[in-house]
Structure 1
């Protein structure tokens, strides 16, 4: 099963090949290989997570499949491929951006309503959907892509009451205004010669955009219920990464249930395709009940210890010890079990800290290299959610926003945000027994079954996947105190690191050893970076086969036999063949 968003009749163009020449996972032209349209895949993904069999589904995103008829399709890949490459005349394409379905699995899957936009060479010049609105405004404020979460957080800082009128309802339809953008040029600017918004104007614009998005999506959620006669709704599409909008729909009391997949964005298309295939094959169709869909790695602590022993130590630990260290203000990175599927599904790959300290927020934002005003989010025992936060009783993958009272906020200052909201992840024992027990131990110490929980990665990086990636990342992040690998506590060997920093771990006056990371970098901490300003050359190849010395390339094995470098002896060779070290040649 496949779904291709950026390809349509006449729209193949100069983008990446639809079929890579070296693709050999399966025969793409097989009669068993089907292609389905983008919103249809989103709808199947939403239905695979929904608690009820009969539901209405609302799909909203920036843009989905582009077709002439604006209808869903499901066809063999060979037929679909021929349809896109054999276009012989101009076609009037429309891109779906909002769809409403009425679904009862095994009986019907009906499209009830759809809105679209005309594909445009510069989509940022027009706004015809919630997705386009949010994309336009986030790009304007942050000057780069993928800043939708930052825009949502920034909206809470606005203090102006009268917001920009971005849309209106007319005869039951949403009418987008496209005149308000020009009004921004009349607002206070940081630079009279260039259109740069003040912080206050950014807050105002972000809040106006967020308010419009919430009300527009609520309008369509109600429309979905009215068109289908159903009160159980499932949401999918990138627009529903907006947790404030999700909560507005949930809090409207218009629905009996509101559900979302762990990946409402385009990552969820893969789940939708798989679920479509299962339904069509009439296999036993099981609902998705977990976000832990990653690879299961076998932990061999002896191998990890041998590979990294100079830099870290391993010891078995327990939840009580870790809870006490978190209570003392220590910050943990955790890599355990399968990785999660979804942009906000956490737990197995998380950075964990105490909510009791107001310093936690600043520390985590520094580690993540995020703006200081960005909020951090909690993970909480599911049965405790109603005692501390106000919102849905279940949010396994952080898809809703919660209100927190002033009294509880005073107990957990790390969760402070101007609108007193936070994004919770609820945890059942069955989801992750070890993590559940850790939070329980923390509750026994503090009275609060809550930890701060953010993703285990750096800026613009994918989530950490395996144990070696986790160790590499941990060694480069000096502000992260400990690493948890399953039930092992990992700690830096500070003596060895200090020895390197003080130039004690030398082979001779010019050569010393540094830790080699998978990504080719070599910094252990900020102090070490500063001490290496005079490095001339670094070996980056894996495995280490060459030594670059004063702009000359020499064969590594020959260099070992070079009498003039006899200090590069067998002991050093043994270190190098593990591929965990760099040699830096420092100019004398």
Structure 2
């Protein structure tokens, strides 16, 4: 059976192709269109998935959409009726969109498939719809290395559900418990994201990164007024403080009064209040996640837990959950947000609907999340020439040696190798990399390469066999979804004066032997690198270790602010020409910034809408 999974029309559209139960290709539409969080029908992602294995549209047995639009429309109507007459403005704003497009998505999707893949196929007969949280749960359980597991899904909202417990066993998966809209941990986090001046559905990472600069001074206020948390982790929000049910904003004037003022204007200076709010909502989120996990453990008795949904991308909460040892084993879907719904939709249909036997993998079935396009040597060279790049072609051994030496010399390197990653993290396929030992790298990369806020932390990529020597963690973290402290033996003692610093001033204090990847609370978002899943990246880090004694590299996504992660060699070259990256390595092609035509330089600082 060849099954195509699709997520679309909200944010982060994506496609995934499953052949005989194997995930063979998956990609987000944004990588091809260059529109961040593109919600359009994933025309380009579908075309890529089929081309990856040489299939045509006639080879597709089923197309599975990741949620049920009619149930979402039912929520819209019932929410309006529950709050009427409040919310009329929001209702009349969204209704035309639903009546024109979203309510008739079966017809829309069928027409889009016909336009892209051929009109001589009865696509409506092949089209299936999964429930949103079931798609998330399937994306976490079926690729996991577990025969039996509980699956906790947490996000903003699907059709109705915001938090769910599913139980998986073999090729069976069923949702057992739910918390429903408007009560949502994801939307609570998004409300604070909005209130602190960041963009909902993309700024939540910033809030998580900002949290260590603050103190959880508002955590009690949040729990006293905004969210009632039970011992089993179930919760209830006081909707009198929120506006997302009835208005066009996340919060209202009562929310403003609770926190003594209006929301921060986007792009205005950050104050200690925003840092403390970030720390507070992060602390509350961690409390809910851990209590939910304990409640699930008590009710199910299972030893394995899988996580999915947007909240599962909160790697700080994941790290705390791991250290609590509520479950023996934890596995998190690397594309835990809506893009991953395409994976779950396809796998759910293959196993649950078609009742196909499940073949277990030694680690997991996501293949390191390297599921996107790759380019051979001749294609890379041709694409770079057409883009106007000046480059040299070298052997693979020389490429590894030169790159490692340039990193050790302090250069920022664009690294474009192999298959592109699926999901929000760069994992050594489309990465900007640097020397973590430099105390200047964190600020320089933010301000001169990424063109983003200086407080944003960077992640370390570390050889799997060396992880426990450098970080306080002894398990795999291949998808950069777990946070742990830098090992005590690698930390630097702070002076009494340094301990007195607060807010952004904390940023200027080196805290370990690898300050570029050590956050102000001594934590790091860790990626363990394996020779089996990414041999080139493993070889590069190994060479860097040989030169420096350090088996760690700074790893951040290969993009600038406002753009998706690069996909093609041309994308990588354009990024080189719009940033202060000094060396670009695409396959075995090396490009130095100083060798390029100055006429091709682009001002990325002002080219994209700030997010």
**2:99 equivalent in structure 1:** 13
- The 5-angstrom pairing of residues 467-486 of structure 1 reads 467-477=569-579, 479-486=580-587
- The 5-angstrom pairing of residues 9-408 of structure 1 reads 9=71, 10=73, 12-15=98-101, 18=105, 19=108, 21-24=111-114, 25=117, 27=121, 29-65=123-159, 95-106=160-171, 108-118=172-182, 128-145=183-200, 146-159=202-215, 163=219, 164-166=221-223, 167-170=227-230, 172=232, 173-177=234-238, 182=254, 184-185=256-257, 199-279=271-351, 280-283=353-356, 285-286=358-359, 287-300=365-378, 302-304=381-383, 306-308=385-387, 311-316=390-395, 317-366=398-447, 367-405=449-487, 407-408=490-491
> Aligned in 2, Cα 1:496/1:351: closer, same or farther, shift over 3 Å?
closer
- For residue 554 of structure 2, give the secondary structure of its aligned residue in structure 1: strand
State the alpha-carbon separation in 2 of the partners of residues 3 and 22 from structure 1. 13
- For residue 425 of structure 1, give the secondary structure of its aligned residue in structure 2: strand
State the alpha-carbon separation in 2 of the partners of residues 98 and 139 from structure 1. 21
Instruction: Give 1:249 shift.
Output: 1.6
- For residue 295 of structure 1, give the secondary structure of its aligned residue in structure 2: coil
State the alpha-carbon separation in 2 of the partners of residues 221 and 251 from structure 1. 12
> Aligned in 2, Cα 1:110/1:237: closer, same or farther, shift over 3 Å?
same
- For residue 125 of structure 2, give the secondary structure of its aligned residue in structure 1: coil
**2:25 equivalent in structure 1:** none
Instruction: Give 1:325 shift.
Output: 0.9
State the alpha-carbon separation in 2 of the partners of residues 185 and 6 from structure 1. 38
Instruction: Give 1:493 shift.
Output: 5.4
State the alpha-carbon separation in 1 of the partners of residues 604 and 560 from structure 2. 15
- Contact 1:49 1:259 (C-alpha < 8 Å) held by counterparts: no
Instruction: Give 1:297 shift.
Output: 2.1
**Bigger relative contact order, structure 1 or 2 (CA pairs below 8 A, ≥6 apart):** 2
**2:3 equivalent in structure 1:** none
Instruction: Give 1:179 shift.
Output: 7.0
- Contact 1:112 1:227 (C-alpha < 8 Å) held by counterparts: no
CA RMSD of aligned residues (A): 3.0
> Aligned in 2, Cα 1:496/1:214: closer, same or farther, shift over 3 Å?
closer
> Aligned in 2, Cα 1:401/1:192: closer, same or farther, shift over 3 Å?
closer
State the alpha-carbon separation in 1 of the partners of residues 604 and 180 from structure 2. 50
- Contact 1:353 1:452 (C-alpha < 8 Å) held by counterparts: yes
State the alpha-carbon separation in 2 of the partners of residues 448 and 439 from structure 1. 9
State the alpha-carbon separation in 2 of the partners of residues 455 and 137 from structure 1. 25
Instruction: Give 1:5 shift.
Output: 4.1
> Aligned in 2, Cα 1:355/1:343: closer, same or farther, shift over 3 Å?
same
> Aligned in 2, Cα 1:452/1:421: closer, same or farther, shift over 3 Å?
same
- Contact 2:462 2:529 (C-alpha < 8 Å) held by counterparts: yes
Structure having the larger proportion of residues in helix? 2
- Contact 1:333 1:351 (C-alpha < 8 Å) held by counterparts: yes
Q: Please give the TM-score of this superposition, normalised by the length of structure 2.
A: 0.70
Q: Please give the TM-score of this superposition, normalised by the length of structure 1.
A: 0.73
State the alpha-carbon separation in 2 of the partners of residues 495 and 469 from structure 1. 15
State the alpha-carbon separation in 2 of the partners of residues 41 and 111 from structure 1. 11
* 1:471-494, Cα deviation, whole Å (9 max, x unpaired): 1221222x1011111133222453
Q: How many residues align?
A: 465
- Contact 1:350 1:453 (C-alpha < 8 Å) held by counterparts: yes
* 1:369-427, Cα deviation, whole Å (9 max, x unpaired): 11111111110001111111013521111111011146344311212322111101111
- For residue 280 of structure 2, give the secondary structure of its aligned residue in structure 1: helix
- Contact 1:314 1:491 (C-alpha < 8 Å) held by counterparts: no
Of 411, 415, 418, the residue aligned with 2:517 is 415
Instruction: Give 1:46 shift.
Output: 0.5
- For residue 368 of structure 2, give the secondary structure of its aligned residue in structure 1: coil
Instruction: Give 1:23 shift.
Output: 3.2
> Aligned in 2, Cα 1:159/1:104: closer, same or farther, shift over 3 Å?
closer
> Aligned in 2, Cα 1:161/1:137: closer, same or farther, shift over 3 Å?
closer
**1:573 equivalent in structure 2:** none
Gap regions ≥5 residues in structure 2: 1-62, 75-97, 242-250, 360-364, 492-510
State the alpha-carbon separation in 1 of the partners of residues 375 and 537 from structure 2. 18
Identify which range, 200-209 or 223-232, moves more after superposition: 223-232
